Structure 1
Amino acid sequence: MSLPIALQLWSVKEEAEIDFFGTLEKVAKMGYDGVEFAGYYGKSASEIKAVLNQLGLKSAGAHVSADQIIHHIDDVIAFEKELGNKYIVCPWASFNSLEEWKEFTEHLQQSGKKLSEAGLSLVYHNHAHELVPVENEYILDRLLNAVPANLLKVELDTYWLEFAGVDAVEYMSKYKGRTPLIHVKDMAQSKEESTEVGNGIMNIKGIVKQAKQNSIEWLIVEQEAFTKPQLVSVEIGLNNLKKILADT
């Protein structure tokens, strides 16, 4: 069983800021099947869709700010439907109290319902701070338990799980059926930054194997720290991940 591989465009954001469509073309030439957006650089949905079609790329999802998802959901729906994107991913949220998290989950439920009615899906992307136990329960578990699975999926970032001291493969298995997207990000030897997928210390093979068992739709490569040019690194990551995928 093979899985499509997308690139989280945050990985090449400096390149995209200079030439968004040129960067998409380079990503397509590397052999990526799709991209996950992290901003649109002033381009319209119709412009982006035309370029994706021309390059043979698909939209794996889009990171959209919590503010947009909560306060401007109708605009989000209109843009993403025109683009042809299914997964609306909340990339970051952080609060100082359980009460604030509870209020946030209520907002997510409301937006998730609107997205579902429009044929789209709301997804939450974790970092490490949601894996801190509060009253013997992770914040991320609280969030996912509070919002019904049909209204909120999860995009598990495997790097941040491990960074927080949580076994990524084990945690993925816990949410089997609720993880359409997985961030495949490798950890450098220092354990302080990411590196090219396949060149670090993460159990990428185990993550890919569990991703297949979870019936995920997209493996998404992400890298946030570089010792080589961004485009060189994400191509190395893609090629390494393809080899791992073929052997798993």
Structure 2
Amino acid sequence: MEASRIAVQLYTLRDFCQTKEALRESLRKVKEIGYQAIQVSGIGPISHEDVKACADEFGLTICATHVSYESMQQELEEVVRQHQLWNCKYVGLGGIPNEYRTGGGYDAFAKEASEIGKRLQEYGLQFIYHNHHFEFQKFEGVTGMERLLQHSDKAAFGFEIDTYWVQAGGANPVDWIYKVDGRMKVIHLKDMAIIDNKQVYAEIGEGNLDFSKIIQACRDTGVEWYIVEQDDCQRDPFESLAISWRNLQQFL
């Protein structure tokens, strides 16, 4: 893992990225912490051109996104234009739509999304799927996540494992990194702690996930981008991102 390959998922800073001016200030702080890349998700109605200008001003690479499945289905040309403008290869989906969350639904979605992925590949882009915990519900003894793995096209349907959500789903993040070997270049690093008898999001290294093994699995499987995300923070989100950045330095 190289420092230049550690990114911030802007969803962590969504409350601070709703206007162009706020986004610009947030990216300034992200760069000041030490990060050199971002994933765009959860920001306000800011033009693609303005997002690119803000990222360029601070020398930040846009390494991945999350866009809606509806956009991929109905506005694929605009999705392609957006990612080409940003020089961003990885087109991410934050989660499977509700209507597909059945056994047969996962199978059908895997095939549908694979076709979208094939179209994206024609433009040099890669579809990636970000999991939560609900994908680990079993249908006829097989989890939704396994169904996505089994019924999708290996080349066109990539994964973006979220370490916290795999753990929350009762599975092992390290095992899943190896399961998607060859199909994952982008990972979400997110830690889990227990506070007042509840699972909470934590800064990397401040929770209970074994990041030594997680990072080694990423190295073994050729992960390119290590994206730090914290859905909710117990302190100022910029401080949380700084703690995660500092704690990840031991793995460089």
- How high is the TM-score relative to the length of structure 1? 0.93
CA distance in 2, matches of 1:187, 1:13: 20
RMSD over aligned CA atoms reads: 1.6
CA distance in 2, matches of 1:47, 1:29: 20
- 1:117 paired with 2:122, answer yes
CA distance in 1, matches of 2:208, 2:152: 33
8 Å CA contact 1:5, 1:218 repeated in 2? yes
Aligned positions of 1:189-208 closer than 5 A: 189-190=194-195, 192-208=199-215
- 1:171 paired with 2:176, answer yes
8 Å CA contact 1:70, 1:107 repeated in 2? no
Question: Can you list the C-alpha shifts for 1:22-62, whole angstroms capped at 9, x where unaligned?
Answer: 11111111111200110442222222222222211111200
- 1:80 paired with 2:83, answer yes
**Residue 104 (structure 1) shift:** 2.0
Q: Which residue of 2 aligns with 1:37?
A: 40
Q: Which residue of 2 aligns with 1:140?
A: 145
CA distance in 1, matches of 2:48, 2:234: 33
CA distance in 2, matches of 1:113, 1:220: 24
- 1:10 paired with 2:20, answer no
What secondary structure does 1:193 align onto? strand
> Match for 1:226 among 190, 210, 233?
233
Q: Which residue of 1 aligns with 2:52?
A: 49
**Residue 196 (structure 1) shift:** 1.0
One-letter amino acid of the counterpart of residue 84, structure 2: K
* Residues 157, 9 of structure 1: alpha-carbon distance in 2 compared, 3 angstrom cutoff: same
- 1:23 paired with 2:26, answer yes
> Which runs of structure 1 show a deviation greater than 6 angstroms over 4 or more consecutive aligned residues?
none
CA distance in 2, matches of 1:150, 1:96: 23
- 1:126 paired with 2:127, answer no
Q: Which residue of 2 aligns with 1:66?
A: 69
* Residues 57, 96 of structure 1: alpha-carbon distance in 2 compared, 3 angstrom cutoff: closer
What secondary structure does 1:49 align onto? helix
One-letter amino acid of the counterpart of residue 204, structure 2: V
- How high is the TM-score relative to the length of structure 2? 0.92
What secondary structure does 2:49 align onto? helix
8 Å CA contact 1:194, 1:224 repeated in 2? yes
What secondary structure does 1:232 align onto? helix
CA distance in 2, matches of 1:222, 1:90: 15
One-letter amino acid of the counterpart of residue 16, structure 1: C
> Match for 1:92 among 59, 77, 95?
95
CA distance in 1, matches of 2:52, 2:36: 15
Structure 1: segments with no counterpart, 5+ residues: none
What secondary structure does 2:171 align onto? coil
